[in-house]
Amino acid sequence: MVRFADRVANVKPSTIREILHLTQQSHVISFAGGLPAPDLFPLGRLREAADQVLSNPANLQYSITEGETVLRELVSGRSPELPDPANVLIVSGSQQGLDLVGKLLINPGDSIVVEAPTYLGALRAFDVYEARYVAVPTDEAGIDPVGVEQALNDGAQMIYLNPNFSNPTGKTMTKARRRQIVELAERFDVLVYEDDPYGMLRFSGEPVPPMITMSSSHVLYAGSFSKILVPGFRLGWLSGPRGMVEKLTMIKQAADLHTSTTTQAIAAEAFTGDFLDRHVDQVRAHYLQQRDRMLLALANYFPKEADWTVPEGGMFIWVTLPEGLDSTALLGRAVDEGVAYVPGEQFFTDGSGRNTLRLAYSVASGAEIDRGIERLGSLFTRSMTSGSYA
Amino acid sequence: MVRFADRVANVKPSTIREILHLTQQSHVISFAGGLPAPDLFPLGRLREAADQVLSNPANLQYSITEGETVLRELVSGRSPELPDPANVLIVSGSQQGLDLVGKLLINPGDSIVVEAPTYLGALRAFDVYEARYVAVPTDEAGIDPVGVEQALNDGAQMIYLNPNFSNPTGKTMTKARRRQIVELAERFDVLVYEDDPYGMLRFSGEPVPPMITMSSSHVLYAGSFSKILVPGFRLGWLSGPRGMVEKLTMIKQAADLHTSTTTQAIAAEAFTGDFLDRHVDQVRAHYLQQRDRMLLALANYFPKEADWTVPEGGMFIWVTLPEGLDSTALLGRAVDEGVAYVPGEQFFTDGSGRNTLRLAYSVASGAEIDRGIERLGSLFTRSMTSGSYA
């Protein structure tokens, strides 16, 4: 048997992916996967764009690692704080951003500050570089700055945050809290990785400025076209300090030469005119409706002892069940009854959060939301009154 | 300044890429980049396929890391020795295969056996994992097995080979030599990375069986759609031992979730029927014509003291100039005279090979081949008779 490298000891499959396999039977109503609604994919527009793009062989040839100029200009044009496309690197979905930054910054054993709970995909990307994690609790304003400062005092090397409508909690960091965290990053000379795949999907409340507007030296911003266009193109971007983006470009070149010339060109062609803004308006309106439907169903059917977040955008609601209910243990029964979710424990680094769960309202129909939440509410209520509780 | 990880000390830009930047002025005849001929891209077929594919939202959604089943079946169906798609992982171009395998196998300081000269992109991919290299010379049959055995005795952890119409030399390993290397790999329990982006582009001579047909346990095969379809889709594959492919799938999931659903689906749709075979026949016929044109021009215009390979497929001819001529030093003058190539030194790990160069005959027109080779021949002849020689 060929010997694997030491870092592979940290490689594990995504548990969410295993759950998704379980729930792909068509009769299961899934609130599990964070998939964008396929009914909103702009098929006609993309077909037209593809027809244009596939008439020019340059759109099928090798290209530069930085990404197609027109797409980088689009990103930088929408970011007043980043006027220059030279600060933008197109990546193959935001997951690749995590991998490239892990490669750039993490030595084996380094500590990364994350929220408790945090995005699972970030942990899996950083695991490969043998990261350790300091999970800092989050209050209503965002990650606790006292905990962050403590972790930085103890030598942590990076702060990973998902500040808008976070995966998994749906919560948003306040402006004041963002500023505090950025100041800490500058003081301790570490990077804030601002992972923002949902930022354009705000459907209520007031926009909060991204942290990258607060520091030109210590924040790297990661955006994604997966939730505002389609995930199957695998398009995202990193933007931030020029020297860091240049290093990341070299690292990306060694990793996959460049992101698909063709999907970049189709996206850029589709975005001409005001299409992106009009399309994102539609997506936002739809997700607002979906969120409201799920909030109403939760109020109607979930036990009154349960609590949940009210996201101002994005795709997720985070539910806290009464202490003693175990969402991991109950998942099998929920799937038997035709509903799936992701147990909250998955998003913690220490096995805590067993009484929490993540619900995605993005793909189910309105009727499925009603029926699925009713069944889950019934299951959780029965579990409280039966011996499963406590 | 945020601290970078130790591995980044090894990250350098690709010199070929820098050369390509130099030569992108339109008046320069480029034999430098290994680009497939854009005139052969099957635009009509791809437009039709895209129109089909973009009518189904599933082709734009997130997908499984392993790759689209129909594309994996196509790969395994063409490989009698690999009848099961479960042994195939679709990757984002063959460069990603190098990165994933580097992550899986290379501990900092590990030695990798490579040919002298070898493919530059492999060195850049493995550099990130802090590999060292043992460069073993190649004779007419392929890499020298005595040198390989010596390196394995000294603890080398992997053998990287490009056995068909190698980049950069255009040479092909014999069957007997392949068998010797595979036996060594099995005996020392290390992996052979069989990098074969050009394998389907044989236009003369007899096919040689891939090394993966000689060992089901110690060879990983890397294929690419870049040279037989289009590079802009970023599609390649790894196939080999099931346990290794499963680990690589987990590593890929952490790196970019999956390769573009859409470009995979368009390729699979385009390949229905016998399109792939018919198309590859056209590509082969074209490259044979291009090769012959360049060989004739070399015979006509290059100094009689120069020597070059006669590839049986692929895109490259490797030229050895008389000792003392320095292709690195002469590149600037060549570009001034309107012709570009890649200095052979780039493909060695120790700065040797300064009297060699790589010529790609894939993109230049027939007339450009004549004119470009004439100019280069004249430059090299003048350099021999002037003080530049010796």
* DSSP character string of B157-168: -EEEE--SS-TT
Task: Compare all CA atoms of chain B with the CA of A15 and give the residue at the minimum distance.
Answer: B250
The DSSP secondary structure of B30-91, one letter per residue, reads E--S-PPPGGGS-HHHHHHHHHHHTT-GGGGS---TT--HHHHHHHHHT-TT---GGGEEEE
pLDDT value at A341 more than 60 = yes
Asked if the Cβ–Cβ distance from B260 to A233 is below 8 Å, we say yes
What CATH number corresponds to the domain at position B98? 3.40.640.10
Contact B58 A39 (CB under 8 A): no
* pLDDT over 50 at A390, yes or no: no
What would the pLDDT profile of B94-131 be if each residue is shown by its tens digit? 999 999 999 999 999 999 999 999 999 999 999 999 99
Mean pLDDT, rounded, of chain A: 94
* Residue B163 falls inside a structural domain: yes
* pLDDT > 90: percent of chain A: 89
Average pLDDT over residues A316-339: 95
> Residue A95: which of B218, B233, B257 has the nearest Cβ?
B257
Q: What is the pLDDT of residue B23?
A: 65
pLDDT at residue A83 tops 80: no
Residues B91 and B207 in one domain: yes
Tens-place pLDDT, residues B142-183? 999 999 999 999 999 999 999 999 999 999 999 999 999 999
Q: In DSSP terms, which residues pair with A29 in a beta bridge?
A: A339
Give me the residue label for tokens 């911003």.
A221
User: Mean pLDDT throughout A43-47?
Assistant: 98
Q: Is residue B388 part of a domain?
A: no
In a domain, B321, yes or no: yes
Q: Are residues A95 and A242 in the same domain?
A: yes
pLDDT at B387 over 60: no
Residues A255 and A238 in one domain: yes
Q: Region B49-75: what's the mean pLDDT?
A: 96
Please check whether residue B43 touches A, CB under 8 A.
yes
The total of structural domains in chain B comes to 2
Give me the CATH number covering residue A10.
3.90.1150.10
pLDDT tens-digit series, residues A145-193: 999 999 999 999 999 999 999 999 999 999 999 999 999 999 999 999 9
First-to-last alpha carbon distance for chain A, in angstroms, is 46
**What is the structure's pLDDT at B125?**
97
pLDDT of A23: 65
Question: A83 and A65: one domain?
Answer: yes
* Nearest chain A Cα distance for residue B210, angstroms: 20
Select from B1, B2, B130, B216 the residue whose CB has the most chain A CBs within 10 Å, as the one to mutate to test that interface. Answer: B2
pLDDT digits (tens, 9 = 90+) for A212-222: 999 999 999 99
Is residue A29 a part of any domain in this protein?
yes
* Torsion of the alpha carbons at A196, A201, A202 and A207, rounded to the nearest 10: 40
Does residue A1 lie within any of the structural domains?
no
- The parent domain of residue A143 ranges over 43-270
Decide if B38 and A59 are in contact by the 8 Å CB cutoff: no
Asked if B202 and B164 touch (Cβ cutoff 8 Å), the reply is yes
* Residue at a domain's end among A245, A270, A295: A270
Domain boundary among A242, A270, A298: A270
| Region B350-359 average pLDDT | 95
pLDDT class for A79, splitting at 50, 70, 90?
Answer: confident
Over residues B329-348, the mean pLDDT reads 94
A29, pLDDT greater than 90: yes
| B47 assigned to some structural domain | no
- Is there a single domain that holds both residue B261 and residue B284? no
Which neighbouring-strand residues pair with B319? B308, B357
* Final residue in a domain of this structure, among B270, B299, B315: B270
Model confidence at A388: pLDDT above 60: no
Preferred mutation among A8, A62, A160, A186 to probe B, highest tally of B CBs within 10 A: A62
- Determine the Cα–Cα distance for residues B272 and B285; give it in Å rounded to an integer: 22
pLDDT at A337 over 80: yes
Give the strand pairing for A307-308 and A88-91: unpaired
Least reliable range by pLDDT among A136-150, A328-342, B376-390: B376-390
Phi, psi of B190 (to 5 degrees): -125, 165
Inter-chain CB proximity A57 and B50 less than 8 Å: no
ipTM above 0.90, yes or no: yes
pLDDT band at B22 (very low <50, low <70, confident <90, very high): low
A347: closest CA among A328, A375, A367? A328
Contact indicator for A189, B1 with CB cutoff of 8 Å: yes
**What are residue B111's DSSP bridge partners?**
B132
Q: How far apart are CA A34 and CA A25, in angstroms?
A: 17
pLDDT value at position A129?
97
Mean pLDDT across A300-312: 97
Has residue B316 got a pLDDT over 80? yes
pLDDT band at A69 (very low <50, low <70, confident <90, very high): very high
For chain B, say whether A68 makes contact (Cβ under 8 Å). no
Listing DSSP states for B127-142 in one string gives HTTT-EEEEEEEETTE
Cα A152 to chain centroid distance, Å, stands at 24
Statement to judge: residues B167 and B294 lie in one domain: no
Using the Cα atoms of residue B138, residue B141, residue B142 and residue B143 in order, give the sign of their dihedral. negative
Report d(CA A230, CA A264) in Å as an integer. Answer: 12
Residue B1 lies in a domain: no
Q: Where are the alpha helices (DSSP H) in chain A?
A: 15-22, 43-53, 69-77, 94-105, 120-127, 145-153, 175-188, 242-256, 261-270, 275-301, 327-336, 366-385
- Judged by a CB distance cut-off of 8 A, whether residue B26 touches chain A is no
* Pair (B221, B100) in one structural domain: yes
Residues A304 and A315 reside in one and the same domain: yes
B107 and B253 together in one domain: yes
Q: What is the DSSP letter of A314?
A: S
Model confidence at A20, pLDDT cuts 50, 70, 90, reads low
Residues of B in contact with A254 (CB under 8 A): 11, 95, 99, 121, 124-125, 127-128
Question: Residues B360-377: pLDDT tens digits?
Answer: 999 999 999 999 999 999
In the predicted model, what is the mean pLDDT of chain B?
94
**Same-domain pairing of B176 and B312:** no
A155: contact with B, CB 8 A cutoff: no
* Interface contact flag, B253 A13, Cβ < 8 Å: yes
pLDDT of residue B390: 41
> Is A129's Cβ below 8 Å from some Cβ in B?
yes
B390, part of any domain: no
Find the range with the poorest average confidence among A21-30, A70-79, A261-270, B276-285. A21-30
Backbone angles phi, psi at A159, to 5 degrees: -120, 120
Instruction: Find the mean pLDDT for residues A100-123.
Output: 97
Q: Collect all residues of chain A within an 8 Å Cβ-Cβ radius of residue B43.
A: 54-55, 57, 60
Q: Are residues A224 and A323 in the same domain?
A: no
Same domain flag for A62 and A149: yes
Confidence class of residue B16 from pLDDT cuts 50, 70 and 90?
Answer: low
B215 Cα distance to chain centroid: 22
Taking CB atoms and an 8 Å cutoff, what residues of chain B touch A92?
92, 234, 256, 259-260
Interface of B with A in 244-263 (CB under 8 A): 244, 247, 250-251, 253-263
Which two three-digit tokens encode residue A228?
A: 């505002």
Is B106 in the A-facing interface, judged by CB distances under 8 Å? yes
